[in-house]
A and B are shown apart, each in its own frame.
Chain A
Amino acid sequence: DAKTTQPTSMDCAEGRAANLPCNHSTISGNEYVYWYRQIHSQGPQYIIHGLKNNETNEMASLIITEDRKSSTLILPHATLRDTAVYYCIVRPRGGSEKLVFGKGTKLTVNP
């Protein structure tokens, strides 16, 4: 079973920041937080992951709270092409290597 809770859907205006929350209150010390997204009719796409520090790459930023019980994925300037389902996944390093997907958040970027 997925160990994360995400809102079912969110809307964002084009050009604005999209902030997608994720709750993972039962996360353990050796588990990473991963974010993937799935654009309609495509395979999931890796976005970013982190353990406890905030992370940034060319796609997004990941903010993890100090207690690690929640995180936020930030798309700084959302475009129409960012419309997708976003999945937050906790994944142990050295344990089960599979990804367990929940239902994710359907983000709609509006013009």
Chain B
Amino acid sequence: GAGVSQSPSNKVTEKGKDVELRCDPISGHTALYWYRQSLGQGLEFLIYFQGNSAPDKSGLPSDRFSAERTGGSVSTLTIQRTQQEDSAVYLCASSYFSYNEQFFGPGTRLTVL
């Protein structure tokens, strides 16, 4: 079946611009996660959704980062006023329930010039 999909696969933006990254989880998966992977920091957790609510936002690095999930399905991660340190691969994962194994998408590579 279809896996987790993310779009765009690559995004180049200028410092100060806003960007939106999209995640389509596996159909029927109730839990959705955002992570990011940068050269200096490795893979780090950003936010977790159960349904449309986000019980754990502890990984969001600043208030420039926000995310929402609608209809218990698609999620959007928004970064406002992008900075060069936001450059990373942003990964989305989903799982059937929060305690099940997570399946990852291919990621969105964000480059902030």
Contacts and interface: CB of A to CB of B under 8 A. Distances in A.
Interface in B27-62: 31, 33, 35, 42-45, 48, 56, 59
B91 interface: yes
If over half of A's interface residues share one DSSP class (helix, strand or loop), that class is named, otherwise mixed; here it is loop
B104 A45 contact: yes
A13 interface: no
Contacts, number: 48
Interface residues of A, number: 19
A40 B96 CA distance: 26
18 contacts: A43-B105, A43-B107, A46-B101, A46-B102, A49-B101, A87-B43, A93-B99, A97-B33, A97-B48, A97-B56, A98-B45, A99-B33, A99-B93, A100-B45, A101-B42, A101-B44, A102-B42, A103-B42
Interface of B: 4, 31, 33, 35, 42-45, 48, 56, 59, 91, 93, 98-99, 101-107
Closest CB pairs A-B (n = 4):
A43-B104, A101-B43, A97-B98, A98-B45
Given A97-B33, A99-B45, 20 more contacts: A42-B106, A43-B91, A43-B93, A43-B104, A43-B106, A43-B107, A44-B43, A44-B91, A44-B93, A46-B101, A46-B103, A87-B43, A97-B31, A97-B48, A97-B98, A97-B99, A99-B102, A100-B45, A101-B43, A101-B44
